């Protein structure tokens, strides 16, 4: 296990970046003793005040990367720093806090008792202030066990605010919430980030990345595969999506065409991610019985499917 120092040129001595990951590698060994590389040379610099969405298919390495950022695990090689110091130091100094997917709450405590108990670890913490900012003041007397998933996440958010962190890391904070709860949660976080906090959040929901993030970092197989604003990623991915009502047999034949990057099924429609939508239209019209054909610009989700291994899997097996 080794952490190397960054060369001076890579450091911002006066105002260090919120987070720097430099050529980070993390391997695990499974039960059979086989080695597996979860994070494979990942480099990323997050500037102060940025709101960064961290996207990747299941198993891409998001949680492992976040765990390294929070000092919960150390890289096998490469370097991680927060505000110019080791992650554990930044966490101890209260500069970084996290909202993780689950756990960490005692079901029999009330919301207020939970915040007060954890607030006692942070002398001077503004208990009422963080409850108000997280939108849980009205829930103060409710037992944690009786809070909905969205309310529990807002409680975790309040707890994360107790140390007045400069950097907030959220690992799929709205997993399992319905659309209304998600919208409320993000409205709460958005208000807080307007005060200049740096935020990095992992999500599976493309619309969260699209609506909320200044910057979208897509990872796949432990590496960064795209990095930029949601609109710049969409723009960089040339091509369009062609969708149609089509039989599974025809869809399989069309998906094998060289102008098709991937194919997914949503509802009754097949969506083909095409490098040349005109050529694909000709194939659909002349060689298949497809109906209700539509052509649309690529969405962030389609860009994601085209860039990552999830798209390759989809291409291999259209239903
Ligand atoms: N402690 C561990 N031991 C062995 N393998 C692990 C361990 N933690 C993670 N992995 C493996 O490393 C890979 C990356 O996992 P990680 O949880 O970082 O992915 P993720 O992008 O967060 O995925 P998801 O979207 O499903 O949460 C996965 O294949 C996972 O099975």
Structure tokens at 183: 């919208």
Per-residue pLDDT tens over the stretch 106-141: 999 999 999 999 999 888 899 999 999 888 999 999
Say if ligand 1 is within 6 A of residue 61 CB. yes
Minimum-distance ligand 1 atom for the alpha carbon of 172 = 27
Contact call for residues 237 and 89 (beta carbons, < 8 A): no
What is residue 13's predicted lDDT score, i.e. its pLDDT? 47
Residue ID of nearest Cα to ligand 1 atom 6: 28
Q: How far apart are CA 260 and CA 272, in angstroms?
A: 6
Per-residue pLDDT tens over the stretch 73-97: 999 999 999 999 999 999 888 899 8
Q: What is the pTM for the complete model shown?
A: 0.74
Report how far apart, in Å, the C-alpha atoms of 262 and of each of 164, 270, 285, 292 are.
44, 10, 19, 19
Out of 39, 60, 220, give the residue to mutate to test ligand 1, the one with the largest number of ligand atoms within 8 Å of its CB: 60
Reported CATH class of domain 237-316: alpha beta
Q: Are strands 51-55 and 198-203 parallel, antiparallel or unpaired?
A: parallel
Minimum-distance ligand 1 atom for the alpha carbon of 56 = 21
Domain boundaries, the chain: 8-95+165-233, 237-316
Report how far apart, in Å, the C-alpha atoms of 123 and of each of 72, 88, 161 are.
23, 19, 13
Which fold does the domain 8-95+165-233 belong to in CATH? Rossmann fold (3.40.50)
Q: Write the Ramachandran bin of 49: left for phi over 0, alpha for psi from -120 to 50, otherwise beta.
A: left
ipTM attached to this prediction: 0.95
């Amino acid at each position: 296990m080794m952490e190397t120092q960054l060369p001076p040129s890579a450091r911002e001595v006066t105002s260090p970046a919120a987070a720097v990951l430099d050529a980070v590698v993390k391997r695990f060994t499974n039960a059979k003793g086989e080695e597996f590389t979860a994070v494979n040379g990942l480099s990323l610099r997050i500037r102060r005040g940025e709101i960064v969405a961290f996207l990747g298919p299941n198993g891409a390495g998001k949680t492992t990367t976040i765990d390294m950022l929070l000092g919960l695990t150390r890289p096998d090689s490469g370097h991680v720093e927060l505000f110019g110091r080791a992650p554990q130091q930044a966490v101890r100094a209260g500069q970084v806090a996290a909202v993780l997917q689950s756990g960490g709450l005692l079901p029999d405590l009330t919301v207020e008792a939970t915040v007060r108990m954890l607030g006692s670890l942070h002398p001077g913490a503004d208990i009422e202030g963080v409850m108000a900012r997280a939108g849980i003041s009205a829930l103060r007397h409710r037992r944690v066990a009786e809070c909905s998933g969205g309310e529990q996440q807002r409680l975790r958010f309040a707890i994360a605010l107790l140390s007045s962190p400069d950097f907030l890391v959220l690992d799929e904070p709205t997993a399992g919430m319905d659309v209304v709860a998600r919208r409320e949660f993000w409205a709460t976080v958005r208000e807080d980030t307007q005060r200049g906090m740096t935020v990095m959040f992992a999500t599976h929901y493309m619309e969260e990345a699209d609506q909320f993030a200044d910057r979208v970092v897509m990872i796949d197989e432990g590496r960064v595969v795209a990095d930029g604003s949601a609109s710049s990623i969409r723009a960089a991915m040339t091509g369009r999506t062609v969708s149609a009502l089509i039989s599974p047999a025809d869809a399989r034949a069309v998906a094998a065409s060289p102008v098709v990057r991937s194919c997914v099924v949503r509802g009754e429609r097949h969506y083909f991610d095409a490098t040349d939508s005109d050529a694909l239209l000709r194939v659909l019209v002349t060689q298949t019985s497809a109906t209700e054909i539509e052509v649309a610009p690529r969405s962030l989700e389609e860009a994601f499917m085209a860039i990552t291994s999830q798209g390759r899997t989809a291409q291999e097996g259209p239903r």
